[in-house]
């Protein structure tokens, strides 16, 4: 279990810009990740130590695990392909 969650300034701005219900859902996910940072749905990015990504609905969250901290780098909406 991690003891600290930090948001990089860009991630904090991205989180604050979201609608309140979505922001609450992502904060809940962040709190859950504190207890299980290497969750089965998290993908470790190749070639980059400690860097993971996870999808939450239409969003991707990039984060770094540096025991005992989790640093969230970005919260981005996935691009939608046009039909």
The percent of residues above 70 in pLDDT, for the chain, comes to: 93
- What's the confidence (pLDDT) of residue 13? 93
- What's the confidence (pLDDT) of residue 1? 67
Return d(Cα 17, Cα 5) in angstroms, integer: 19
What are 47-66's pLDDT values in tens digits? 877 899 888 778 888 999 88
Q: Are 56 and 39 in contact (CB under 8 A)?
A: no
Domains of the chain by start residue, with CATH: 4-77 (3.30.2310.20)
């Amino acid at each position: 279990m991690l003891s600290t969650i930090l948001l990089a300034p860009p991630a904090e701005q991205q989180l604050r810009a979201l609608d309140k219900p979505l922001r609450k859902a992502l904060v809940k996910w962040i709190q859950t990740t504190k207890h299980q940072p290497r969750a089965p749905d998290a993908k470790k990015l190749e070639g980059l130590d400690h860097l993971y990504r996870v999808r939450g609905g239409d969003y991707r969250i990039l984060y770094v695990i540096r025991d005992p901290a989790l640093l969230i780098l970005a919260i981005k909406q996935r691009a939608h392909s046009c039909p």
